[in-house]
C-alpha cells in the first residue's frame, strides 16, 4: 500500500518517541515504524531508576518513562503508528521506503524527511559451543524476564561488567534467579561503580581479567570453562576452571544498527568509542544526505537519557527544515543541547566526547 507523510520515524524507542513528540498535534503528517509490538524500545525492559536530572525523568524507572513518552504520541491524530513493522529498505530511484507489516503487508512510504532511530544490536562472543540453548544476549534475558515474566534459567553466569551486565545481574537477583558470578575480560569493572556496588552487596562476585572459553552441555547448557587473562588479554594456561550453570548471559556491548544509513548513501565511519559504524552528522543530527537524521544508539552507543535528548534535537531540526519550527521548538532544542553537553561533561563522558569529535561537524 502506498503511504505518504512529511516525516518518517524509524524506531519507537526513546529517541524516536521524543522526536515524534515535537510534531504531536501539528499539521505535519508523521509515520512511526516499530519492529516490536510495543512502543518504548529498550525502555520497556528497564526496571531500574534512571540517572540524570528531573527534566530527564531522573529517579523514574525506565518502563515508566516509556509509558510517559508514548501517551502523547498515541493520542496525536497526525501521527500514524505501525507496530510489528520492519523498515526493509530505501529505494532511491523511486524515493520510497519499503516497510513490511506483520510479515505480510507491504507499504511503500514516501516522505520528505526521515529520522533513523533504529537503536542497536547486541554483540556476540565467539567460543566453543556458543550456540547451545541457555546462552543468551543480555537483552534477550531482559525481554524474557521483564516483559514476558519468563525466567531464562536457574543459575546464571554473566559475561561483561558494563552497565548492562551489572543491571541485568541485579534484575535476575530481583526475579529470584541466582547469579553465580560476573566475569569481565578487562582489568577493571566497565560499568558505573554504583551499579557494581549493588550486585556486590547481593553477594555476586565480579571476576576481572576472566573470560569464558568453552561451553558444555548435551541438550542445553550445563556449565562453562572460565579462564584468566593476563594484562595483554592472553589466556593464562593452567587457570581454566569449570563452573556449572544453566544460563550464560552475554553482555559484551552493543553495535549501532546502521544498515539503513547505507541505503541513503550516508557517509559512515567506524568509531570504536561509539560502538561501531556510525553516520557522520552535524550537531543538528543531520547526516551527509540532507533529508536523513539520526538519534539514539544508532548515532553512537550511549544512554537512554541522551537518546531522548538527541531525539528532541533531531525532531526540531527536521521541523526547522520543513519551515514549521516555532520559538518553543527553538528553546527545546537549545535546552536539549545544553543538557546533552552537561551530561557528557566530566570523566565519564570522555569516551563519548572523543568518539563524537571524529564524526561531528567538520564532515557535514
Partner 1 sequence: MYKNTGYLSSQEYSSCMPDEERMNSGAVAIIECPEHIPCNPCQEACSRGAIQPFEKITDLPVIDFERCNGCGNCIAVCPGLAIYVLQKEYEPGFSLIKIPYEMLPIPQKGDRCDILSRDGSVIGQGLVERVQKYSFNLKGRVLWIKIPKELHREARNIRVVNE
Q: Which is nearer to partner 1, 49 or 124 (CB)?
A: 49
By the rule CB under 8 A, 51 interacts with partner 1: yes
Q: Which is nearer to partner 1, 2 or 201 (CB)?
A: 201
Residue 340 CB, nearest approach to partner 1 (Å): 10
- Please state, in angstroms and rounded to a whole number, the distance separating the CA atoms of residues 266 and 288: 5
Q: Which is nearer to partner 1, 15 or 166 (CB)?
A: 166
Distance of CA 353 to the CA centre of its chain: 18
120 vs 35, 75, 222, 300, 351, CA distance in Å? 13, 27, 30, 9, 18
- Evaluate whether 254 touches 246 at the Cβ level (below 8 Å): no
- Evaluate whether 228 touches 236 at the Cβ level (below 8 Å): yes
- Please state, in angstroms and rounded to a whole number, the distance separating the CA atoms of residues 336 and 339: 5
Contacts of 75 (CB under 8 A, 6+ apart): 24
By the rule CB under 8 A, 35 interacts with partner 1: no
Range in contact with partner 1 (rule: CB under 8 A) among 54-62, 88-96, 151-159, 355-363: 54-62
Q: Which is nearer to partner 1, 188 or 237 (CB)?
A: 188
Of 183-222, binders to partner 1 (CB under 8 A) are: 187-189, 192-206, 208
The burial of 200, by beta-carbon neighbours within 10 Å (0-12 exposed, 13-18 middle, 19 or more buried), is given as: middle
Residue 77 CB, nearest approach to partner 1 (Å): 32
Range in contact with partner 1 (rule: CB under 8 A) among 47-55, 111-119, 127-135, 248-256: 47-55
Of 338-357, binders to partner 1 (CB under 8 A) are: 339, 342-349
Total number of residues binding partner 1 (CB under 8 A)? 44
- Evaluate whether 115 touches 318 at the Cβ level (below 8 Å): yes
Of 287-316, binders to partner 1 (CB under 8 A) are: 305
Q: Which is nearer to partner 1, 121 or 208 (CB)?
A: 208
By the rule CB under 8 A, 77 interacts with partner 1: no
Q: Which is nearer to partner 1, 46 or 286 (CB)?
A: 46
Cell (9 digits) for 301: 552507543
Give the residues across from 269 on adjacent strands: 278
Residue 311 CB, nearest approach to partner 1 (Å): 17
Write each residue from 156 to 175 as x if it is in contact with partner 1 (CB under 8 A), else as -, in one continuous string: -----x-----------xx-
Residue 52 CB, nearest approach to partner 1 (Å): 6
User: Which one, of 304, 319, 332, 249, lies nearest residue 11 by Cα?
Assistant: 304
Q: Which is nearer to partner 1, 132 or 173 (CB)?
A: 173
Angle at 352 between CA 49 and CA 311, to 5 degrees: 60
Cell (9 digits) for 201: 552487596
- Evaluate whether 309 touches 56 at the Cβ level (below 8 Å): yes
- Evaluate whether 243 touches 157 at the Cβ level (below 8 Å): yes
Q: Which is nearer to partner 1, 306 or 317 (CB)?
A: 306
- Residue at grid coordinates 587473562: 229
Residue ranges binding partner 1 (CB under 8 A): 47-54, 58-59, 61, 161, 173-174, 176, 187-189, 192-206, 208, 305, 339, 342-349
Amino acid at each position: 500500500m502506498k503511504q505518504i507523510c512529511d516525516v518518517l520515524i524509524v524506531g519507537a524507542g526513546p529517541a524516536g518517541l521524543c522526536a515524534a513528540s515535537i510534531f504531536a498535534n501539528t499539521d505535519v503528517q508523521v509515520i512511526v515504524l516499530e519492529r516490536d509490538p510495543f512502543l518504548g524500545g529498550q525502555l520497556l525492559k528497564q526496571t531500574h531508576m534512571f540517572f540524570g536530572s528531573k527534566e530527564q525523568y531522573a529517579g523514574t524507572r525506565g518502563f515508566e518513562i516509556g509509558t510517559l513518552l508514548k501517551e502523547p504520541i498515541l493520542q496525536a491524530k497526525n501521527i500514524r503508528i505501525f507496530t510489528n513493522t520492519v523498515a526493509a529498505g530505501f529505494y532511491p530511484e523511486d524515493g520510497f521506503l519499503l516497510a513490511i507489516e506483520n510479515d505480510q503487508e507491504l507499504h511503500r512510504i514516501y516522505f520528505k524527511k526521515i529520522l533513523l532511530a533504529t537503536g542497536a544490536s547486541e554483540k556476540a562472543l565467539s567460543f566453543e559451543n556458543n550456540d547451545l540453548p541457555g546462552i543468551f544476549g543480555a537483552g534477550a534475558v531482559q525481554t524474557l524476564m521483564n516483559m514476558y515474566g519468563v525466567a531464562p534459567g536457574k543459575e546464571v553466569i554473566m559475561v561483561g561488567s558494563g552497565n548492562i551486565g551489572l543491571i541485568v545481574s541485579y534484575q535476575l537477583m530481583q526475579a529470584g534467579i541466582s547469579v553465580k558470578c560476573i566475569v569481565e575480560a578487562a582489568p577493571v569493572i566497565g560499568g558505573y561503580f554504583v551499579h557494581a556496588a549493588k550486585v556486590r552487596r547481593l553477594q555476586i562476585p565480579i571476576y576481572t581479567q576472566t573470560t569464558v572459553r568453552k561451553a558444555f552441555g548435551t541438550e542445553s547448557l550445563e556449565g562453562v570453562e572460565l579462564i584468566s587473562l593476563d594484562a595483554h588479554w592472553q589466556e593464562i594456561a593452567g587457570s581454566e576452571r569449570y563452573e556449572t550453570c544453566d544460563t550464560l548471559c552475554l553482555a559484551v556491548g552493543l553495535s549501532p544498527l546502521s544498515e539503513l544509513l547505507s541505503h541513503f548513501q550516508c557517509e559512515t565511519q567506524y568509531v570504536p568509542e561509539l560502538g561501531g559504524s556510525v553516520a557522520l552528522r552535524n550537531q543538528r543530527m543531520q547526516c551527509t544526505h540532507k533529508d536523513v537524521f539520526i538519534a539514539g544508539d544508532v548515532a553512537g552507543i550511549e544512554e537512554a537519557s541522551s537518546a531522548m535528548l538527541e531525539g528532541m534535537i533531531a525532531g526540531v531540526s527536521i521541523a526547522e527544515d520543513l519551515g514549521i519550527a516555532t520559538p518553543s521548538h527553538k528553546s527545546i532544542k537549545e535546552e536539549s543541547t545544553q543538557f546533552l553537553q552537561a551530561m557528557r561533561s566530566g570523566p565519564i563522558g570522555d569516551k563519548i566526547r572523543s568518539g563524537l569529535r571524529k564524526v561531528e561537524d567538520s564532515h557535514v
